[in-house]
């Protein structure tokens, strides 16, 4: 298979090794520029797009999904060429429904209504991957899988994924699905970068064991791994959070940027390339605000990291030993 493509977890669906995150579309990036970025992503071979009903950050509006839907409506086989993943969980009640308790979370009712609303905003008749944005501890898995199965049978969704789940949640979900004869979770979106490797402890191993493809979000550690110790990105992104991160991880970041310079690549590109070496990762999410950021991200696909380099990276950013071995002595 082409190096820029892979299977989505254990499924037969083929997706690009980079996933285009759309969270900036609307709040940070205009509709017109968002259209250009999505067009260019297809030209670059990125066929995997991620969004969520709450993106756009105006409750109940689904602004980002609407932008993606308007782009699909332009035709040119845009919808047919894209694997679209969206998410449900957040409160989506508009003015007339604000305060009503069933406009969020993961009840059977909200799963159905959230899917229908996303279909309308995305201007499509099916969603490739419907993801639970967070775990909802009050709904039994029998209810959750029954609700999703109805949507699968109706042809409105193809697969189900999760986001921000613990390893235990992934085990619970897929064991319940197995008992019910369902496919279960096929993807998990987790915050994962060299600065935050804790999913290696349990989430990553659980996903690998169940064939759940991990889709890392914030693979550049909120941009910090892109070169904050110097250069234009560092000057541009020095907000309070970045300053706090530098204060805590400054020595690591300096060593990291020196290593990347020695490799002859931009630090952010190497950080993306590193995530692609992880055995449980399907595709890291890139969230470009501009065309230049998109063009830069695809360079990660051409970076090869040998074992010596990977060992050096582990020295700078120590890994977690997978559970249960992490606890053994």
From the centroid of its chain, how far is CA 60? 22
Is residue 55 annotated as part of the catalytic site, yes or no?
yes
**CB neighbourhood size of 159 (10 A):** 22
Q: Which of 55, 105, 159, 210 is catalytic?
A: 55
* 3-state secondary structure labels for all residues of the chain: CCCCEEECCCCCCEEECCEEECCCECCCECHHHHHHHHHHHHHCCCCEEECCCCCCCCCCCCHHHHHHHHHHCCCCCCCCCCEEEEEECCCCCCHHHCCCCCCCCCCHHHHHHHHHHHHHHHCCCCEEEEEECCCCCCCCHHHHHHHHHHHHHCCCEEEEEEECCCHHHHHHHHHHHHHHCCCCEEEEEEECECCECHHHCCHHHHHHHHCCEEEEECCCCCCHHHCCCCHHHHHHCCCHHHHHHHHHHHHHHHHHHHHHHHHCCCHHHHHHHHHCCCCCECCCEECCCCHHHHHHHHHHHHCCCCHHHHHHHHHHCCCCCCCCHHHCC
Distance between CA atoms of 222 and 238, rounded to whole angstroms? 11
Distance between CA atoms of 185 and 210, rounded to whole angstroms? 9
Active site residues: 55
């Amino acid at each position: 298979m082409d190096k820029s493509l892979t299977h989505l977890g254990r499924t037969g669906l083929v997706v690009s090794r980079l996933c285009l995150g759309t969270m900036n579309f609307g709040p940070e990036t205009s509709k017109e520029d968002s259209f250009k970025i999505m067009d260019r992503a297809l030209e670059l071979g990125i066929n995997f797009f991620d969004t969520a009903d709450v993106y756009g950050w105006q409750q109940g509006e689904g602004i980002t999904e609407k932008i993606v839907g308007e782009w699909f409506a332009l035709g040119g086989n845009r919808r047919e060429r894209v694997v679209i993943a969206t998410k449900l969980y957040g409160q989506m009640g508009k003015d007339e429904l604000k305060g009503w308790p069933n406009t969020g979370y993961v009840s059977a009712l909200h799963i159905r209504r959230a899917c229908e609303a996303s279909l309308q905003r995305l201007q499509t008749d099916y969603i490739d991957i419907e993801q639970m944005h967070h775990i909802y501890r009050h709904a039994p898995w029998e209810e959750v899988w029954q609700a999703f199965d109805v949507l699968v049978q109706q042809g409105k969704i193809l697969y189900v994924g999760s986001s921000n789940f613990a390893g235990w949640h992934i085990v619970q979900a897929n064991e319940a699905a197995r008992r019910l004869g369902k496919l279960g979770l096929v993807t998990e979106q987790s915050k994962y970068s060299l600065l935050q490797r804790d999913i290696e402890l349990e989430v990553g191993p659980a996903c690998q064991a169940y064939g759940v493809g991990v889709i890392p979000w914030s693979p550049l550690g909120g941009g910090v791994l892109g070169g904050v110790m110097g250069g234009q990105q560092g000057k541009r992104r020095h907000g309070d959070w970045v300053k706090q991160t530098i204060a805590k991880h400054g020595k690591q970041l300096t060593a990291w940027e020196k290593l990347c310079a020695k490799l002859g690549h931009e630090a952010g590109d190497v950080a993306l390339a590193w995530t692609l070496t992880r055995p449980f990762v399907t595709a890291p999410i890139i969230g470009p605000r501009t065309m230049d950021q998109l063009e830069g991200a695809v360079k990660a696909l051409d970076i090869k990291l040998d074992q010596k380099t990977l060992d050096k990276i582990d020295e700078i950013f120590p890994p977690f030993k997978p559970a249960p071995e992490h606890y053994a002595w």
